[in-house]
Every structure is written in structure tokens, then in C-alpha cells.
Chain A
């Protein structure tokens, strides 16, 4: 094995073991940022020792022993400083001498601890970007370099983001806390927002970019699945997982051989991943069973599910999709959602009803430079036989489109309208 091979092996073991290391340590130290730092030291110790000594037979136990030793040292140091932790340190020493139960990973207790960890890493006090970096680091065990490559940013930027975020948590006294009661749903929203941010960062990555970028979808899915196991009663957790599983099921069909995007209705449905769709549908069913059918993520998942369940584009249940968009627009007022609703209404009821919605959006400041608004308008006008107006709309859309291929397509449609 080359040194690079050994490093990859160590990082693989690390990603498997890291959650229980950091949860054990944060329970010992009652301080998540500190626990994170000391588990990183365990990784460094492995990177230092294993290349020469080989990967131990039970690598998890090795890492846990090192991490706990660091934590005990830390507690001893703070005891010398402030003789406060005598009892805790003594207890821990006793515990250390007993045979530790390393297999107790992710049992109920560890689940609570992991939930606390995620809530801390995704604290609303931190910027969304900082939350994303901390979550990838603490939950998925990614290194700073991996996170930087995935987000197309310099290593130093991510490193600084993580250091600052941990400092913010430590200084604000929020280093170890679990939200309860009413605060819980607000805090959960902050977690889900970050998971979805990570997912979308990977989902919008172009083919040919570093593989770590699309991998972000899988990282977000991992966090999403972890969340469903440690917060199983929260419908939106299942809703978000459903949305991600269903979206990622189309990954293989989303681009052509040249890497150009293929629109959903034109995709080869045989390439949609049925295992992923099944998992998505199960998660959506759970969200519904928990009474969460009207949630922000569950509604979006239900829309995607309509596509996933249609054997052909022609069999899509547009009236249902249009109804789901109406429900979604009632949850979040967003001109983009309204535009999507218009497309669904156009498919379900015809272009006239859809155009009425789109025309109400023309003065929306948020859509002022959004080429898809004019593109949808052009399409509806064309269907209504109002060709001059359609041509003008497609031309306006082409002028706003950032992507050359899209520009060409829109110009072609403008020319078609001119000849009709």
C-alpha cells in the first residue's frame, strides 16, 4: 500500500467511527467544539501511527481509547485549574478501567447525544455556510480539505469558517445544549435548512467537476437518514429525506453524454433509480403518517413523487401537482413557487389559466431578471396562438439567459413563433 492508500483507508475508518467518538467525548466534556477538537487529535494520531504499525484489528476501539485519553487529560487539566471536576474525572477514570462497551453506538442514548451534536453544529447563531461546514465535519467526518474542494473554496476559507464557528459557540455558552419545547421546531428548521443547502450544492454541480461536489448529495442524504433515526417523530425530517431521495433518484438521467442538462419531462425514466424512489416514497409515507403532509419539504417531496410514479411523462398527474403547488404557495410565499405553480396549472387546466398567474408575476422584483419567467410566458402565449407576443417573450428570455445553450434554444423558439 502506498502512503496515499493508507491515508484513504484511515479516513474511511475515521468516517465510520467518528460519530461515536465525538458523541462520547461531548458527553464526557459537555462541550461540543472541544470534543470535536479532541476527536480530530485522535485522527491525527491514527495518521501518524497506522502507516508504520498497520491498521489495528479493532480500529474503532483504538481511536476511542486515544480520544478518551485526550478527554481525560483535558479534564485533569481543568481540575488542576479549578478543582471542580474531581468527581467527574474520578468517575471517568473508573469507567475507563472497566471494559468499555464500544458497540453501544447509536443506541438510544447515543442518538440523543448525536441529536444534541447536530443541533449545536447547526445553531441559528451561525451563518448557513458555517453550519454546513460544521455539519459535514462533525456528522459526516469530512476533512477541511474535502469540504473546501466540495464547495470550490480555498482550504483556508473553510478552516477559518470552522474555527470562527466553534469560537462563537464556545463564547456564547451554547457549546452543549438541547433545545426543548417550542424552540425545538425552530431549531430543527435551522438543521433541515442546512442539510438541504448541502444537498442542493451537490445537486447543482455540473458533470466533470470534482467528484466531491456531487458527493455532497450523498453526504446530505446521510445526515438526513441519521436525522430520521434520531428524531423519528418529526414529520419534516422524513419530508426532507423523501425530497432528497426522490430528487437524487433522477441523477443518472439528468444530463446527456456531453453533460448538458435534460429537462425532467424529457428524461429517460428507465434510468431513474427505483431503489432510491422506493426509499423516498417510504420516507414520504412516514411524513404523512406523522401528520406532516402539509410541511414545506413534504409538499415538495409529494410533487416530485408525482413525477416518480408516472411511468411516462404523459401519465403525470398534473391536477394533483397543481394542487400541491397551491398548498406549497400557502406555506411559503415565493414568486418562483408561483411560477412553478403556473406551469402545473398550464398542464392541468390549459394555457389561459396559467397565463393569468404568470402575468401577475411580471412586476415581481425578484423575477425581474429571471429568464424562465419570460420563457414560460412565451410558451403559454405560443400555445394560445398569440405568436407576436410569444416571439417578444422568447427574445426577452434569450437576452436574460446566462447559459449559451439555453439562449440558442430560446432564440429558436422566438424564430418559430415569428414564422407561425
Chain B
């Protein structure tokens, strides 16, 4: 089963500590070598993006910066995993690194299965 992991955190991101960066890279390296992680990427700050919206039947495009969003998507990763349990175990390991190496950080790793054919 293919899963997307989406990491969100409230408000503007603090810079990750070097320790966290190193730990995350190490984990990502292991997951790539183990054949589980297929793709990943970090996203540029919200302010540099844009939004295209439909509201009241009207379509509009808005350039950033926006009024501060409550939850910001910082990055994603795509995994090929056996089942949801494996996805959960993997996400827990990833989030534990944040707890160990960036005390005070709060956020969410959401995992979603890809819709099948």
C-alpha cells in the first residue's frame, strides 16, 4: 500500500535544530535503502506560494503572503508499506526524533493511503 506522510505544524516554522536535521536525514537514508521510502520533499514557506480558490461560484487566484494559516504543511514523503500498522510504526519513529532532538516542537504527521484503482 502506498502512503503519503504529510507533516503539519502550527504557524511559522522554527528552524529545525541541526541534531534533528541529522537524525531525520539518517532515518530517511535508512528508509530509502530499506526500499520503503519512494519519494520525499520539503515545501517552501507559504508566503512564497499562491492559492487558487473557488468561493461563491467565483474563481480567483491569490498570491502569497496570506493571512497566517493555522496549520502549515512543511513537507511530505511517499512510502510503499505493507499495511497501516507499518505506516503508523514508521510515522511514530519519525515523530519521536522531533521529540528527542527539538524539544518544544509541536506538530502532526498525517498518514494517508493512496486511493487504489
Contacts and interface: CB of A to CB of B under 8 A. Distances in A.
Interface residues of B, number: 24
Contacts of A11: 85
Interface string A43-64: 0000000000000011110000
B86 A16 contact: yes
Interface stretch (A76-84, A217-225, A336-344, A345-353): A217-225
Interface string B76-117: 001010110110111001001000000000000000000011
Contact of A58 (B35, B80, B85, B96): B96
B9 interface: no
Interface stretch (B26-34, B41-49, B55-63, B65-73): B26-34
A275 interface: yes
A11 B30 CA distance: 19
Pick the 10 closest A-B CB pairs, nearest first: A225-B35, A252-B117, A222-B35, A229-B33, A12-B85, A12-B86, A12-B89, A8-B85, A13-B89, A106-B30
A85 interface: no
A19 interface: yes
Q: Which of B78, B89, B90, B116 has the most CB of A within 10 A?
A: B89
22 contacts: A9-B89, A11-B85, A12-B88, A16-B86, A16-B93, A58-B96, A59-B89, A105-B30, A106-B29, A111-B33, A218-B80, A218-B82, A221-B80, A222-B35, A225-B34, A229-B32, A229-B33, A230-B33, A252-B117, A271-B117, A275-B38, A275-B78
A305 interface: no
Interface of A: 5, 8-9, 11-13, 15-16, 19, 57-60, 103, 105-106, 111, 215, 218, 221-226, 229-230, 252-253, 271, 275, 279
B35 A15 contact: no
Interface centre among B30, B35, B78 (most CB of A within 10 A): B35
A103 B93 CA distance: 12
B89 to A, nearest CB: 4
A225 B82 contact: no
B106 to A, nearest CB: 18
A218 B2 CA distance: 10
Contacts of A5: 85
B35 A224 contact: yes
B33 A225 contact: yes
A340 B112 CA distance: 41
A9 B88 contact: yes
A9 B86 CA distance: 7
B76 to A, nearest CB: 13
